Each structure stands twice: as structure tokens, then as C-alpha cells.
A and B are shown apart, each in its own frame.
Chain A
Amino acid sequence: MKNIFKKIVVLCVALLFAQNLAADEQSNLKNRFLDKINEVILIVEDKRLSKDDRNRSIVKALTPMFDFELMAKLSLGNAWRELKKENQERFIELYVERMKQSYSAKIDAYEDEKVEVKKIEQPQKNRIALTTDLVGKSEKLEIVYKYHKPSSKQADKDEWLVYDVEILGVSILKTDRAQFKEFLQTKSIYELMDALVKQS
């Protein structure tokens, strides 16, 4: 009897320890995120860089944080599986390029805004949502960064990767899914890829 009791205690302590690990995981992620933001702000404020150099440095600094490939796949929904291998590769390439362009365009509008982490949630073991406020002069913009933890870590990537960004409740990925789906109802994947080329 005593033995069983001991086992339960050991098990519970081990599980409590696991929960602490989860909390650590969250604060590590938060710190890593804030470090990244500071890194980006330093680049933005570096007046010696030309606009193109600046944007390139920012994209380079942020790339390890995002799972662009997964975003590209998810953005197509069911249509992804029907693509031929070479089209899949081409699509990922174009989608990633477009993401980078779109991000650079948004950075251009940056004006002394501050980023504050408001909330951190872990709905599943391998998912974390980081809710932040982009605080500007006259208004606040709520941005949620959604992270997932891939089963195996890629060499040039972080352990936790952003797969979706929600700005004021509008998910980039959901919006892309909706517009790609409707586009593909009347047009082909080749036309979609052409449209992506035009955007970036």
C-alpha cells in the first residue's frame, strides 16, 4: 500500500515538473520573440541602410521564426494534395516570396510603434498563441502570432515556428485560403501562380 502511495507521489511530482517545463517553454518563446522584435527595430532604425538592404536584413532576421512552407501548404487547403510535385515546389517558392514582399511593405509604415506581449496561451502541447499589441501614437493594433512545434526541428529554423498571424482578428492564412479557394473554382493553379508572381 505504502509502495503504491510512493509511486503516485513520484508520478505526480514528475507531472508537476512537466507542467513547469511547459511554463518555461512559454516564457522562453516570449523572450525569443521580444529579442527578435528588438533585433528588427535596430535594423529599422539604422539609417545607414538603404531601404532594400534594410528590408532584406529584416526578412533574413525573421525567416527562422516563420514556417512559410507550412503556410503555403495550408493556404491551398485540399487543392494542395492535388498538385503535382513540381507545382508544389513552385507554389511554395512563390508564396514565400509574396509573404516576404508583403511583410516588407508593412515594415515601411513603421513609425515608433511599440510591441507589448499581452497574453500567452498554449491550447495544445505543440501550439502556442502569443497575443501582442502594436502600440502606436493614436491607436493599438492587436496582433496574434500563432506558433506550432514541428515534430522534428529543422536545421535553419527555430524550435517553435509561426504558422499564422492574426491582425485585429483577421487571419492571414484564413483570408488566403478563402481567396485562393474561390480563385481556383474558376481558374487554374497556373493562373494563381501567375497572380502571385505579379504581386511580388
Chain B
Amino acid sequence: MAFVFTFVVTLSGCSSKTLEKPSEVAVVEQESDDFNGELEGFSDEFEDKEVYDPFSGYNRAMTTFNDGMYEYALKPVANGYNYVMHVEVRESVKNFFNNLYFPMRFVNNVLQGKFSYAAEETGRFVINTTVGILGLFDPAKVHFNLEVHNEDFGQTLGFYGVGSGPHIVLPLFGPSNLRDLIGMYPDALLSPLDYTERSYWTLTDTWPEYLGAKTVEKVNYISLNMDRYEKMRGDAVDLYPYFRDVYEQYRNKQIEE
């Protein structure tokens, strides 16, 4: 009996091996090739796709503008903010905003059929809003091991196969694309930060209130991740295509998950 078993196991090993044979042969051929053959083995992984980029002129200009805004406006402000606000206060500000975006994450998790993530998000919201005092603290993660599951409508569209469309760099927000830009509208309806009068409660109702809240969020975020942008920028030879590629690859990964 034992013999039969090992035989079946080895046989299955056999069949998978024979299937792999052709590709192995191909690989060996490539390796024995000259120097260019070495690179040929990687051509599948690094195929050059033509990037459809009709707004590249505008995008380039906006990337330069955003970079200047970071360097000469946001960074000095964030530096000052850093100086005044203790790091724990800044963490709390970040937690507060994150907690506000719970409806967006919940709905998009549900739309993608990720019900256990949606449940985890609900648990987080309930715990952090109450025990965590309006979301200022994150006891859900620290004590209950509940993780954030970031999902937005752009990802939901991507999940159902919508392509990214042309890349668009937004003022201050930075890299985006047509799909993610469209996705911002339904997400805005689910956000308590808003610039119009709504039939339901929102934290901000007018443009000045909205922009004020968004600025605090952005400056606070930068103050917590001061060197991240600069480190990334340090690897760029050409800022625009670099950030475009980083953004698109990152979004594809998020959609895949």
C-alpha cells in the first residue's frame, strides 16, 4: 500500500515535470546563447509597454508645480507644524482623519466582496470612535489587532476590470489617472469632509471649511512622512515619468490585493 502511495506521489511529480520540460529547454537555450541571450530571459518580465499619455505636457508642468509647492510651501509649513505639535498629537490627528473615512473604506470593501475586511473595518470604527475618543487613538489596532483595509472607488473600478485611462497629475494631490479621478466623486459622497450642503451630517459644509480641513490633513500627513517624498524624489532622473510609473505600479498592486 505504501509503495502504491509513493508511486502515485512520484507519478504526479513526473507529470508536472514533463509539463515543465519545454520551458526548461527554452531557458537552457537562452542561457547558452551569447551575452544578449542573458537579457532575453528577462524580456517577458520587462516588456516595454507604450504608455498612453495624451496629457503629458500638462502633467509635466503640474509635477513641477507640485514639487515647487512641496519645497517652498508645504515643507516649511510642515516643519513649523512639526516644531509646535508633538508627534503623538500628530499621530492622533492622522487617526482622526483616517477614522472619518471609514464609510468609504467600508462601502468599497463590500463592493469588492471583501466582507471580512468590511467587518474588520466596522469593528475598528466602533472601537476607535468610542474607546479611541472620536478616532483620536487607535486601540482597535493596538489591543484588538484589527487592521485598516484601504479601499477606494478607483480600486473598486479596477477590481471590476476598468483600466486606468490616461495619467493625470492633480494640483496638490499629485499623481492620479482618469479612473481614480472618477472614483473620487463617489468617495466624496461617503466622506464627512465636504464642500456642499448635504441632506445628511457632514463635518464641513462650505469651501473654506473643506479646504481648511484638507490643508490640516495634508500638512499633518507630510509632517509625519517628512523624508519619504524626498527619498523617493532622490531616485528620479526625470521627475514626471518616474512618479507616473511609481503611482501606476502602486495602484495596480493595491487593486490586485
CB within 8 Å of B: which residues of A? 9, 11-13, 15-16, 18-19, 70, 73-74, 77-78, 80-81, 102, 105-106, 109, 124-126, 138, 148, 150-151, 163-164, 168-183, 192, 195-196, 199
Contacts and interface: CB of A to CB of B under 8 A. Distances in A.
A174 B244 CA distance: 12
A175 B254 contact: no
Nearest to A11: B14
A111 to B, nearest CB: 12
Contacts of B45: 164
A68 to B, nearest CB: 14
Contacts of B41: 126, 148
Given A169-B254, A179-B237, A179-B241, A105 B11 contact: no
A48 B249 CA distance: 40
B189 interface: no
Contact of A169 (B9, B48, B250): B250
Nearest to B257: A169
A80 B38 CA distance: 13
B102 to A, nearest CB: 18
Nearest to B245: A178
Q: Which 3 A-B pairs have the closest CB atoms?
A: A169-B253, A12-B10, A178-B245
A16 B39 contact: no
Contacts of B10: 9, 12-13, 15-16
A178 B244 contact: yes
A12 B244 CA distance: 50
A168 B253 contact: yes
A74 B46 contact: yes
16 contacts: A12-B11, A70-B38, A74-B39, A74-B46, A80-B39, A125-B27, A126-B41, A138-B91, A170-B253, A172-B235, A173-B46, A174-B245, A177-B46, A179-B245, A183-B238, A195-B238
